[in-house]
Amino acid sequence: MDRKEILKKITEIIRDVFDDDKIDISEETVAADVEGWDSLTHITLIGTIEDEFNIKFAMKDVVNMKNVGEMIDLIIKQTD
Amino acid sequence: MQKIFIGLFLLLLIFPLCFFNKEEISKRENRTLARFPSLIEEGGFNHKFGKEFEEWFADHFFKREQIIALHARIRHKINGRIENDKAFVGDNGWIFEKKGIIDVAPLSQQKGEIEYTAYILKRFDDKFKDKGIPVYLVLLPDRNKVYKEYWERYYTPKPTLDYDDEIKKALSDHDNIKIVSVENDFIRSPDKDLYFYKDDVHMTFEEGRFKIQEKVYNELLKSELKELTVFPERKENVYRINRSTFLSALLGKEGYVDKDVTYVDYQFPNKERYKESEQKSFTRQTNDEWGHITEVVYRKGFVTHPAPINKSFFSLGPCYAEDIFNLFKAVFKESAYIRINLGDNFGQDAKNHQINEIRKLFTLEPNSAVIIVTQDYFEYIEQALEE
Amino acid sequence: MLFSSLTFLFFFLPMTIIVYYTETRRIIRNMFLLFASVLFYAWGDIRYLPILFSTVFISYIGAIFIERSNHKQSTAAVFILLDLSMLFYFKYAGFFLENIGLLFHREWSLKLVLPLGISFYTFQALSYLIDVCRGGVKAQHNFFNLSLYICFFPQLIAGPIVKYHDIADQIDDRKETTDAFYYGFRRFIIGLAKKVLIANASGEIADKIFALPIAEFDAPIAWLGAMAYTFQIYYDFSGYSDMAIGLGALFGFRIPENFNYPYISKSISEFWRRWHISLGTWFKEYLFYPVSVSLMNSRAYRLIKKHFGKKTAGVFLSIVALTIVWGATGLWHGAAWTFIVWGLYNGFFILFELLTGWGKTKKSKLLSAIQHLYAVFVFVISFVIFRSESCNHALHYIQNMFGLIKEHTVYLKLPYYLNHYNILIFTLAFLFSFPIFKDILNVKNKYYQTIINIFIMIAFSLSVFELTANTFNPFIYFRF
């Protein structure tokens, strides 16, 4: 999968978890940009993404993820 | 610019190190200053070294006493009063003790004790009745009874005797001993806002008020208090409030000058002033025997103990027999007043002092009176009676 | 030793600064800082030192083993347990024993002395071990450097809890600049003034009121006590953190912020992003995330998701995770039920805000104000629980606040507790809880800087006066 596709999928997931179809996600998006993205929703998001892409994030990555771009990097690393 | 401030700050930090105070005692605080601790003590390494070092360092800090004085003055300016955690100095320059509301246990009212008290008082009275010197025993209200009247939920019915009644009964055959009971006046007082804590008159502003004393206090406030001056300090008596010590320590001055009054020690009435008052009549038409006596006493500024800052009550302080005696002799040629209240905490010296004070009473001239305001410590009287 | 003592200010600190800057080599500087930190800690009581060093030692060996191990998580678990067991023994064993004893109607007790700062430095040690286990950092092979991380005197006793990855680089690679020093000592003085002037004055009032029997004060006094404590704890704690950060800066360290004007929060969730930030983030990183992730992989969660849907599963996850994290947060603060209740109380409101969406910033100013009042209300009461001697005391105190205690004995009224000075302090405390002077130390204009510095020097002087005045201890014979 290429980055654009992954981004599209992530956007869908985020829209679903946050129940808001108007959210726009780019690679630079950080948690602070999305209203309601706190530790709990972060965890839910991580779980959903792990399920969708059939991967497992390492704990340090869960904790240190800075923006959506990094998330995509990590996904690519695991799906290759 | 940054460097200037950094330099200034570092200089400030090092400064006190260079000018260390080598004193060993503090006259103002009436104590020895902490000594430099040793690393090794008997039993090995002194693990309290750190704490003791800090105490030593703090006690010998550069210009410590001046800083304390400055600090007290700043607080004084802001608060309008001088204080620390133990006491404060009120508007009229008096020291007020700060104490918590203490729930003082009611008097023991066992039959045996009342009999003992009566016995002592009778023997005591024997020393006076032949000279025609009346002995007044002031009985103060029992807190429990006040509660019964005003806050019934706090009244605890106690299976003990009524102290007032019992003492009166026990002394009924000694009519030289006049019992002054303020209980009814107190209970009957229309002022519902009465608080009552201790069973003697040693009160501070936190502890409640007596309506009756308030009446007297107001009398005093009218003119006498502010113009009081003091007797020269009595060096042999170590048990006085040393107001000047406290103030000096706080303000950095020996003695404290306020509104043209110099307080060096106790406030006692002005020697000059009571010559005037000799002319004044001290008999008042009042049903309140206690009020009568206190008016007489307090009119002459006998209050020497902390009075409250809100001026709603005050207390009788200890007055030493000799001073009282002299005073009364000069003024009324009538009464002397003694208060006994030192407990065991203060050692045998203090006790002996009190016993001696009581003994001095035995030399009173006729045309005096003795007022006892205590419901405890009768053993001092007993010991004074032993010769 | 405390920062707010004359010995620290005028003996320990200048000596440390002088010796540090006399030496130019990084290695010696670090060793000296370590030496100073050990001295600082031992000053309080030297008997605690071996405990501190056991933790350092365990962590040192542990990280090296973890890095080499093929079963990182189990190895880490062993050493984490070792560090935690010391914390447990000295801080919680007594509490644990007492409560188990109660279950069996026995009176068991264990009285141990609590080593200073053990909660803080143990968490730092754990952060180190976990970071190595996760692979985020390399194990520190230099024992002195690791010791410095755990024992560094600015944050050894009361935080901020610095995670290893936040400071690891700075140990060997930092710059002691004039800017940093300049910032550091001013920040330090601000912290000192907060603690000595504001916190202590508020504390006097709070202490008096919390020591009273319940029947001896009424609602206005109860609120005064609660507000006084609310100010006390903030200025004490944030003041201490300021001092820690300032001291770190003096030696070229950047210690993360611990407080960000928590009293302007509009929700408890926001409050915990502004209050004791280092602890909140520690629990988030090292407890909340692992717990949540394991829960998500758990059978229970999958079952609930399957039968009741994602939303319900999410709620289940939140409840369990929050209970665990907030119970632990409460317990971390002290071995008593009041702290546990306090923690869960906070967790409850966070859960409430999560489920209802209450507290999130909205456009309406009125709503924001209401939210702010709500948050103030909740955290003031939380501090009553925190401060009370027992859950019983807390309950009665809170009842008193709402006028639910009808039977009062005689008591002193409100004006007794106040004087001009504490009213002034309260006013300042209220003002400074708003970020009106937030960037005051970063002002560039030289003229304003000088004015600010003059104020800072005045604050310093007043603090020193206050500390000196506390040594006044006359022997006055009052009773006679």
Comparing A34-43, B278-287, C192-201, the range with the smallest average pLDDT is: B278-287
Comparing B37-41, B114-118, B156-160, C98-102, the range with the smallest average pLDDT is: B156-160
For helices C337-356 and C365-387, the axis angle rounded to 10 degrees is: 160
Comparing A64-73, B166-175, B259-268, C334-343, the range with the smallest average pLDDT is: B259-268
Length of chain A counted residue by residue? 80
Exposed/middle/buried for residue A16 (C-beta within 10 Å: 0-12, 13-18, 19+): middle
User: What's the pLDDT score for residue B84?
Assistant: 57
Contact between C220 and C414 under an 8 Å Cβ cutoff? The reply is yes
CA angle (C150 as vertex; C334, C121 as ends), nearest 5: 5
Report the percent of chain C where pLDDT is more than 90. Answer: 65
Residue B196 carries which DSSP code? B
Gyration radius of chain B over CA positions = 25
User: What's the pLDDT score for residue B140?
Assistant: 54
- Three-class SS of residue A12? helix
Contact residues, chain C, for B318 at CB < 8 Å: 480
Contact residues, chain A, for C354 at CB < 8 Å: 40
Beta-carbon contacts of residue C359 (< 8 Å; ≥ 6 apart):
C266, C267, C268, C269, C270, C353, C371, C374, C375
Contact between A72 and A27 under an 8 Å Cβ cutoff? The reply is yes
If one counts every other C-beta atom within 10 angstroms of the C-beta of residue B34, the result is 18
Average pLDDT over chain C, rounded to an integer: 90
Q: Does residue B159 have a cis bond before it (omega within 30 degrees)? A: no
Compute the distance between CA of residue B213 and CA of residue C165 in angstroms, rounded to an integer: 71
Beta-carbon contacts of residue C116 (< 8 Å; ≥ 6 apart):
C41, C44, C45, C48, C157
Q: What is the mean pLDDT of residues B222-232?
A: 29
B50 closest CB neighbour out of C1, C181, C467: C1
Looking from the CA of B105 toward its CB, the CA atoms found within 13 Å total 5
User: Residue C185 and residue B153: Cβ atoms within 8 Å?
Assistant: no
Q: Where are the domains of chain C?
A: 6-173, 197-469
With 80 as the cut, is the pLDDT of residue C359 above it?
no
| Per-residue model confidence as pLDDT tens digits over C185-241 | 999 999 999 999 999 999 999 998 998 888 778 899 999 999 999 999 999 999 999
| Per-residue model confidence as pLDDT tens digits over C18-71 | 999 998 898 999 999 999 999 999 998 888 899 999 999 999 999 999 999 888
Compute the distance between CA of residue B263 and CA of residue B272 in angstroms, rounded to an integer: 17
Comparing B79-93, C28-42, C466-480, the range with the smallest average pLDDT is: B79-93
| Per-residue model confidence as pLDDT tens digits over B350-380 | 667 667 777 877 877 665 666 665 555 677 7
Name which residue leads in pLDDT, C476 or B11. B11
User: What's the pLDDT score for residue B146?
Assistant: 59
Quote the minimal CA–CA distance from C16 to chain B in Å: 11
Name which residue leads in pLDDT, B292 or B114. B114
C103 close contact with B: CB closer than 8 A: no
Compute the distance between CA of residue B167 and CA of residue B172 in angstroms, rounded to an integer: 8
Residue B2 to residues B297, C181, C446, Cα–Cα distance (Å):
68, 9, 10
- Which one of C127, C304, C310, C316 would you mutate to disrupt binding with A, by most A Cβ within 10 Å of its Cβ? C310
Nearest CA in chain A to C286: A63
User: What's the pLDDT score for residue C345?
Assistant: 97
Residue C13 to residues B14, C25, C243, Cα–Cα distance (Å):
9, 20, 12
User: What's the pLDDT score for residue B327?
Assistant: 34
Nearest CA in chain C to A40: C318
Compute the distance between CA of residue B174 and CA of residue C411 in angstroms, rounded to an integer: 41
C13 closest CB neighbour out of B13, B29, B61: B13
Q: What is the mean pLDDT of residues B338-344?
A: 44
Contact residues, chain C, for B18 at CB < 8 Å: none
Q: What is the mean pLDDT of residues C70-78?
A: 89
If one counts every other C-beta atom within 10 angstroms of the C-beta of residue C387, the result is 23
User: What's the pLDDT score for residue C311?
Assistant: 82
Compute the distance between CA of residue C129 and CA of residue B283 in angstroms, rounded to an integer: 88
Q: Which helix (H) or strand (E) holds C349?
A: helix C337-356
User: What's the pLDDT score for residue B1?
Assistant: 77
Report the percent of chain B where pLDDT is more than 90. Answer: 2
Tokens 């009435």 belong to which residue?
A: B269
Comparing B168-172, C255-259, C278-282, the range with the smallest average pLDDT is: B168-172
Contact between C384 and C362 under an 8 Å Cβ cutoff? The reply is no
Residue B379 to residues B121, B126, B314, B342, C467, Cα–Cα distance (Å):
10, 16, 27, 11, 46
B14 close contact with C: CB closer than 8 A: yes
With 90 as the cut, is the pLDDT of residue C103 above it?
no
With 80 as the cut, is the pLDDT of residue C96 above it?
yes
Q: Are strands B40-41 and B95-97 parallel, antiparallel or unpaired?
A: unpaired
Q: Which helix (H) or strand (E) holds B25?
A: strand B25-26
User: What's the pLDDT score for residue B143?
Assistant: 55
Q: What is the mean pLDDT of residues C318-337?
A: 94
Contact residues, chain A, for C289 at CB < 8 Å: 39, 43, 59, 62-63
Q: What is the mean pLDDT of residues B175-181?
A: 72
Contact between C295 and A43 under an 8 Å Cβ cutoff? The reply is no
A59 closest CB neighbour out of C269, C293, C357: C293
User: Residue C11 and residue B17: Cβ atoms within 8 Å?
Assistant: yes
Comparing B1-15, B197-211, C333-347, the range with the smallest average pLDDT is: B197-211
For helices B321-331 and B271-278, the axis angle rounded to 10 degrees is: 40
Average pLDDT over chain B, rounded to an integer: 54
User: What's the pLDDT score for residue B349?
Assistant: 61
- Three-class SS of residue B172? coil
pLDDT band of residue B226 (cuts 50, 70, 90) is very low
User: What's the pLDDT score for residue B239?
Assistant: 23
The amino acid at residue B331 is V
- Tokens standing for residue C147: 């010791």
pLDDT band of residue B333 (cuts 50, 70, 90) is very low
Nearest CA in chain C to B309: C416
Nearest CA in chain C to A59: C134
- Three-class SS of residue B87? strand
Name which residue leads in pLDDT, B335 or C395. C395
Q: What is the mean pLDDT of residues B230-244?
A: 28
Interface partners of chain A (CB pairs < 8 Å, 3 or more) are: C
Exposed/middle/buried for residue C348 (C-beta within 10 Å: 0-12, 13-18, 19+): middle
Q: What is the mean pLDDT of residues B249-253?
A: 41
Residue B181's nearest CA partner among B140, B153, B134 is B140
User: What's the pLDDT score for residue B95?
Assistant: 45
Q: Which helix (H) or strand (E) holds C129?
A: helix C118-134
Residue C44 to residues B50, B338, B387, C302, Cα–Cα distance (Å):
6, 50, 56, 52
Compute the distance between CA of residue B320 and CA of residue B180 in angstroms, rounded to an integer: 21
Contact between C137 and A63 under an 8 Å Cβ cutoff? The reply is no
Quote the minimal CA–CA distance from A12 to chain C in Å: 16
- Tokens standing for residue C462: 């007043």
C46 close contact with B: CB closer than 8 A: yes
User: What's the pLDDT score for residue C474?
Assistant: 60
A43 close contact with C: CB closer than 8 A: yes
Q: Where are the domains of chain A?
A: 3-79
Name which residue leads in pLDDT, C238 or B344. C238
Q: For residue B263, what are the β-bridge partners?
A: B256
Contact between C3 and C158 under an 8 Å Cβ cutoff? The reply is no
A79 close contact with C: CB closer than 8 A: no
Tokens 């009788």 belong to which residue?
A: B316
User: What's the pLDDT score for residue B270?
Assistant: 28
B342 closest CB neighbour out of C186, C421, C480: C480
User: What's the pLDDT score for residue B314?
Assistant: 21
CA dihedral sign of residues C22, C27, C33, C38: negative
Residues of C annotated as catalytic are: 333
A59 closest CB neighbour out of C284, C290, C321: C290
CATH of A3-79, one of 3.40.50.2020, 1.10.1200.10, 3.40.50.2000, 3.90.1170.30: 1.10.1200.10
User: What's the pLDDT score for residue B231?
Assistant: 25
If one counts every other C-beta atom within 10 angstroms of the C-beta of residue C436, the result is 9
Contact between C324 and C368 under an 8 Å Cβ cutoff? The reply is no
Nearest CA in chain C to A58: C134
